[in-house]
Amino acid sequence: MRESTSVTGSTGRVAGEVLEVTGLRRSFGTVRAVDDVSFGLAAGGSLGIVGESGSGKTTTARIIVGLEQADEGRVGVLGRARTGRARGRAERLARAREVQMVFQDPYLSLDPRTSVEAVLRETLRLHFPDADHDARIRELLDQVGLGTRAADALPRQLSGGQRQRVAIARALAVEPAVMVLDEAVAALDVSVQAQVLNLLADIREQTGIAYLFITHDLGVVRCVTDDVVVMRHGRIVESGPTARVLDDPQHPYTGLLLESVPRPGWDPHRIAAARRAL
């Protein structure tokens, strides 16, 4: 039986879907990492994909941004199908302007020898060679709460939260329709996580960008997503509005994820036994 979903963000800012994923499959040897995954994301919406390590959520994200190729299925962005590898530089740049990704560790995704200004300028020159790069760099730094004081800094001179703001600014530089955030706050302290999540909420409100959050943190999902997809062993087992799925889970695995969050009286041995029984 096919287990898929078609959920969309519920902000109501702009009609229509910016991202349509249909029947994705991806195997690595005998392991089916992604197995018939389908969902949609509305313009201005925020969708979370949750599951344990190995659930297929990150592979799904990498297919969407073009870092992995699906064995089967379709990814559509702004009504245009992304089939196969991009043909030529122009198509690669066009795809990059539609979907951008922010990774978990900003230090690894930034060149340690390159200043913040140079990181942003390189992106702008690549995609918008005739634009006023100085003005746009100032705008981006202000947008992510860094200001021009950070322009000359190297990644090692910034905190983890500041580096992640630079990564977000770089993604915003091309004005994408969709930003994929792969565990983008997992490496940050709790207080810094809250600051970055508030920043992302403000940016979505200002720009109408759509977010796809890949995370294991159900607290993050509850705070920043309209809808959620739950994956296990490469398949979608439950999906729907975030509040409904987290408050009234219909699948045992979703309930197990919720019970796995540490709290007073929490018994990890019982959770492990329940996981093995599923």
pLDDT in tens, 220-268: 999 999 999 999 999 999 999 999 999 999 999 999 999 877 555 545 4
Tell me the two tokens of residue 198.
């508030």
14 pLDDT more than 50: no
The predicted structure's pLDDT at residue 43: 93
Chain centre to alpha carbon of residue 123 = 20
How would you classify residue 234: left for phi > 0, otherwise alpha for psi between -120 and 50, otherwise beta?
Answer: left
What's the burial of 207, exposed, middle or buried (CB within 10 Å: 0-12/13-18/19+)? middle
The predicted structure's pLDDT at residue 260: 79
Taking alpha carbons only, the member of 94, 106, 112 closest to residue 167 is 106
6, amino acid identity: S
Cα gap 278→275, rounded to integer Å: 5
The predicted structure's pLDDT at residue 272: 53
What's the burial of 77, exposed, middle or buried (CB within 10 Å: 0-12/13-18/19+)? buried
Structure confidence by residue, pLDDT tens digits, 120-132: 999 999 999 988 9
The secondary element (H helix, E strand) that includes residue 83 is none
* Sheet strand arrangement including 99-102: 99-102, 178-182, 210-215, 46-50, 227-232, 235-241
The predicted structure's pLDDT at residue 13: 35
Task: Show contacts of 49-52: CB within 8 Å, 24+ apart.
Answer: 49/212, 49/213, 49/214, 49/215, 49/228, 49/229, 49/231, 50/215, 50/216, 50/218, 50/221, 50/228, 50/229, 50/230, 50/231, 50/257, 51/216, 51/230, 51/231, 51/232, 51/257, 52/216, 52/232, 52/257
Rg of the chain over Cα atoms, rounded to whole angstroms, equals 19
Question: Length of the chain, please?
Answer: 278
Taking alpha carbons only, the member of 235, 214, 8 closest to residue 101 is 214
The predicted structure's pLDDT at residue 187: 82
The predicted structure's pLDDT at residue 7: 47
Tell me the two tokens of residue 263.
């709290």
**Are the beta carbons of 49 and 213 closer than 8 angstroms?**
yes
Taking alpha carbons only, the member of 109, 68, 82, 106 closest to residue 21 is 82
Cα gap 267→133, rounded to integer Å: 54
46, amino acid identity: S
144 pLDDT more than 60: yes
Higher pLDDT, 14 or 179: 179
Taking alpha carbons only, the member of 27, 9, 5, 66 closest to residue 227 is 9
Catalogue all structural domains in the chain, each as residue range(s) with its CATH number. Answer: 17-247 (3.40.50.300), 252-278 (no CATH)
